[in-house]
Amino acid sequence: MREGWRRVQLGDLVSVETGRLDANAAVEGGAFPFFTCSPNALRIDSYAFDAPAILLSGNAAFHSRYYEGKFNAYQRVYVLTSPSLASITLRYLNLVLAGSESTFRMQAGGGVIHYLRLPMVRDFWIHLPPLPEQRRIVDLIDAVDAQIEAADQAVERAERARRGLLRELLAPAMRAGWQEVRLEDVCLRIGMGPFGSNIKVDTFVAEGVPVISGAHLHQARLTDHDFRFITQAHANRLKGSAVGRGDVVLTHAGTVGQASVIPDDSAYENYMLSQRQFFMRPDPALVLSTFLVLFLRAGDGHRQLLSNVNRTGVSSLSRPVRFAKQMRMSLPPLPDQRRIVDLAAAADSEIGALKALAGQARELRKGLLTDLLSGDHEIPASYDRLLAA
């Protein structure tokens, strides 16, 4: 460690005690925060603490948070306070503890639920810099956190704008050149995946025809990796459930409402559905696959799908193929479909760029914490630009 840093135990820096209450002491709409081992604070009508403090969960995730004000705490939450802030700022200590979850997990005892004992917390070792450097580290992380929050808000605004745009563009209203159609009128085929008994775990092989499951349908484009495979001979016996480029795959049991298109540049030419999927094969002379996916994911088609869900047990569509054939859509001419798809793609591109910025800011924060809390690296003068921004 650099000069001025020292290695100390928590018990020598702060007072460590636990809350006194059971979790059922919470009162809905209470006047004060009630901190338990859950990430989200509950409410309560009485307080036991009124000082800046760190709340450290004593079991489960071992997460920590900093709080100023009146509050109460569950009996397995450790409350760390400092009567004198001459040697430590609690916000710096919170950064240290927030990054120590894996260490706490290794040290914790217990059976199914791991827990921290009071001596473990008091004896926990940390690297402590001089107070001015603690404050500088906190200010730097605050600046990065502000960047992350701004990026997250920009993503939220862009996603909200996209939803509003698609709601307007896909509204089920007749416009010039649009026509009301049933999906069976614009699809060459709508079909089911195989029965569950036709694809079992012991039929999977290392290479062959990839099997699409719900895990591949989180986006409008098929997530084209991490497949299980069956042999080509096996796929030939299930050819009624085979799909390929341009087909739209949907989930009929489980996460109903998923819909993805197999793109023209897919990694494989042919795929096989799993038992919880069904598919639509659009007629390219009438409807674009990408437009159909928008209709099913963000337009009135999504509402129609969810309106037919049977929620007894596993959520599922009742007679999915029969229902899908009768679904109705307002269909614009192909040029209008392409314009709507292009507008959605532009919005998706903007959202993707904003998410990338947010991800970069999070990686920056992670790297900064690792370097700055180790005591091995001095804060470069260039970092001060972040504080001044």
**326 and 209 co-located in one domain:** yes
**206 and 304 co-located in one domain:** yes
pLDDT of residue 285: 97
**117 and 18 co-located in one domain:** yes
Asked if the structure places residue 140 within a domain, the reply is no
pLDDT of residue 105: 80
**122 and 256 co-located in one domain:** no
- C-alpha–C-alpha distance, residues 60 and 24, integer Å: 18
User: Is the overall model pTM greater than 0.85, yes or no?
Assistant: no
Asked if the structure places residue 339 within a domain, the reply is no
pLDDT of residue 115: 82
Asked if the structure places residue 103 within a domain, the reply is yes
pLDDT of residue 57: 93
Asked if the structure places residue 146 within a domain, the reply is no
**122 and 247 co-located in one domain:** no
**315 and 247 co-located in one domain:** yes
Q: 388 — phi, psi (to 5°)?
A: -85, -15
Q: Answer with the one of 128, 146, 161 that is the final residue of a domain.
A: 128
Q: Which domain holds residue 58?
A: 6-128
- C-alpha–C-alpha distance, residues 77 and 360, integer Å: 33
Asked if the structure places residue 264 within a domain, the reply is yes
- C-alpha–C-alpha distance, residues 79 and 93, integer Å: 13
The stretches in the chain having pLDDT less than 50 are none
**118 and 195 co-located in one domain:** no
Cα angle, residue 278 at apex, residues 245 and 178 outer, rounded to 5°: 70
300 contacts: CB under 8 Å, gap ≥ 6: 170, 171, 172, 329, 330
Q: Answer with the one of 331, 361, 384 that is the final residue of a domain.
A: 331
**107 and 219 co-located in one domain:** no
**187 and 327 co-located in one domain:** yes
Asked if the structure places residue 262 within a domain, the reply is yes
- CB neighbourhood size of 351 (10 A): 18
- C-alpha–C-alpha distance, residues 287 and 285, integer Å: 6
CATH number of residue 73's parent domain = 3.90.220.20
pLDDT tens-place string over residues 157-182: 999 999 999 888 888 776 788 999 99
Asked if the structure places residue 173 within a domain, the reply is no
pLDDT of residue 233: 96
- C-alpha–C-alpha distance, residues 105 and 1, integer Å: 25
pLDDT of residue 146: 93
Asked if the structure places residue 64 within a domain, the reply is yes
pLDDT tens-place string over residues 96-143: 999 888 888 887 765 555 788 999 999 999 999 999 899 999 999 999
**187 and 321 co-located in one domain:** yes
Q: Where are the alpha helices (DSSP H) in the chain?
A: 90-98, 101-107, 118-122, 131-169, 183-186, 232-237, 289-297, 300-307, 320-326, 334-372, 384-388
What number of CA atoms fall less than 13 Å from residue 365's CA on the CB side? 20
Quote the number of domains for the chain. Answer: 2
Q: Answer with the one of 331, 351, 371 that is the final residue of a domain.
A: 331
**99 and 33 co-located in one domain:** yes
**64 and 198 co-located in one domain:** no
